[in-house]
Amino acid sequence: MSEGDDVLTIPLRWINSKGMVINKIITLERGSYLIGVKYRVENSSAEKLSATFFGQLKRDQLVEEDNSGGGLGIRAYLGSAYSTKEKRYERYDFDDMNEANLNVSTEGGWIAYLQHYFISAWVPDQSKVNQIATLTPGGMGIIRVMSPKVTVNPGELLEVGGHLYLGPKIQEKLEVIADGLDLTVDYGFLWWIGQPLFWLLHWFNSIIGSWGLAIIMVTVTVKSLFYPLSNAQYRSFAKMRTIQPKITALKERIGDDRQKMSQAMMELYKKEKVNPLGGCLPLLVQMPVFIALYWVLLETVELRHAEFYLWIHDLSAKDPYYILPLLMGASMFLMQKMQPVAATMDPMQQKIMQFMPVIMTVFFLFFPAGLVLYWLVNNLLSIAQQLYVTRKIEREFAEKNSKKSLSKPSKKQKS
């Protein structure tokens, strides 16, 4: 493409001995990942011809190692997907292909190969009824689209065409090409939470101009929305800490009788108005949002090669010096120390819990830096909130005990 030109047209021409001329015209636009493919059929022969638009992609069925999701066995989807009038977005992986090849007709539609941040998609004429199909010859995975056959009479000229998208999964570009193509940015079954989180992430980046800071701002926003639930969780932890001396006294008095200890604990919780599940329920409510945000950060191609400060040059790759994972592990260790240990937990369970920060740190060593940044900031905010709530509850507890001691008459007054 010459300097100053925005469009490059590549004409290819084929002529047979009977006078049929086929012109294949490939159109490239500057700054666009969408390629126009058009066939112009000129029938200069004395016979009728039939023509159809045909687009095909193929690759081997080898699923490559993908550590995009870190060391937890979570990986971005690798395989094909398609769209019909009835199904806006449907995955069709290699196992599906080997079980039964796809062969459907639909108005419009598209078919594509997805590989983490990238997509290769054939988009035929959306006004026609097209055929979408897969084939699996010799261990290959082939996807194709075909438009309806059209008769070209002698002396007539016919044009058929479509588009081929080869590029990153950028939602704002995909949604204008074909219906449902933007859904290839797949946030899983929690997409209805993930999509608003992506819009929020994108909005913060448009204002701040840094994807790393945008991740931090989204984390702060989500944490703020769940502040009341987190507050209830940390109040429960704090109350458990204030009655810890009484729990210790029960252990010394009851000993190893676990059934009797459980009954005594329930009576103590009831007397002190402490909910033993109060710290778990708020966390369970928040988990879907955390998982959805995890998938958003995993699927967002804009984070690829996005720099942050100091040593982080790519938020989609692991931290080259493992500083963020180690800081995250330290924050998890501190959070664990701040939480009360359940009285009914046996020594083996306690040892396992003590090793959890170490185990999680090892996993996070291979996570993309953007994901680790999110988790680290979330932990730091949790620590700050828990410290604030714990100190507040301890002051309330101290004031309550002080009032009780003042309200009790002294021995001299009794006599």
Domain boundaries, the chain: 7-186, 195-399
- The closest alpha carbon to 126, from 82, 179, 88, 74, belongs to 179
CA distance 97 to 119: 18
Least reliable range by pLDDT among 17-26, 41-50, 210-219, 270-279:
270-279
Q: Which amino acid is at 229?
A: L
| Whether pLDDT at 288 is above 70 | yes
Structure tokens at 82: 């398609």
| Whether pLDDT at 208 is above 90 | yes
- The closest alpha carbon to 146, from 184, 85, 104, belongs to 104
Return the pLDDT at 343.
Answer: 52
Kind and range of the H or E run holding 143: strand 140-146
Non-local (6+) Cβ contacts of 255 within 8 A are none
Mean pLDDT of 34-46: 91
Least reliable range by pLDDT among 165-179, 264-278, 281-295:
264-278
- Of all residues in the chain, the percent with pLDDT exceeding 70 is 88
Non-local (6+) Cβ contacts of 120 within 8 A are 57, 112, 113, 164, 165, 166
Torsion of CA 73, 77, 79, 85, to 10 degrees: 140
| 238-253 pLDDT, tens digit each | 777 777 777 778 777 8
| 349-405 pLDDT, tens digit each | 667 777 888 888 998 898 889 989 998 999 999 899 888 888 887 787 777 767 666
| Whether pLDDT at 406 is above 70 | no
CA distance 289 to 223: 10
| Helices within 61-130 (DSSP H only) | 94-99
Return the pLDDT at 232.
Answer: 76
Mean pLDDT of 312-327: 92
Return the pLDDT at 415.
Answer: 45
Residue at token pair 């998890």 = 332
| Whether pLDDT at 32 is above 60 | yes
For 83, left (φ over 0), alpha (ψ -120 to 50), or beta? beta
Return the pLDDT at 64.
Answer: 60
| Whether pLDDT at 269 is above 70 | yes
Would you say how long the chain is, in residues? 415
Return the pLDDT at 341.
Answer: 62
| 337-365 pLDDT, tens digit each | 877 665 555 567 667 777 888 888 998 89
For 37, other C-beta atoms within 10 Å of its C-beta total: 19
CB 162 within 8 A of CB 123: yes
Q: Rounded to an integer, what is the distance from CA 48 to the centroid of its chain?
A: 53
Structure tokens at 34: 């969408």
In whole angstroms, how far apart are CA 291 and each of 185, 197, 220, 355? Answer: 16, 11, 16, 23
pTM attached to this predicted model: 0.78
Mean pLDDT of 69-80: 69
- The closest alpha carbon to 39, from 19, 25, 29, belongs to 25
CA distance 93 to 82: 10
CATH code of 7-186, in short, is: 2.70.98.90
- The closest alpha carbon to 127, from 79, 88, 96, 160, belongs to 160
| 125-174 pLDDT, tens digit each | 999 999 999 999 888 899 999 999 989 998 889 899 999 999 999 999 99
Return the pLDDT at 75.
Answer: 74
CA distance 312 to 178: 36
CB 110 within 8 A of CB 119: no
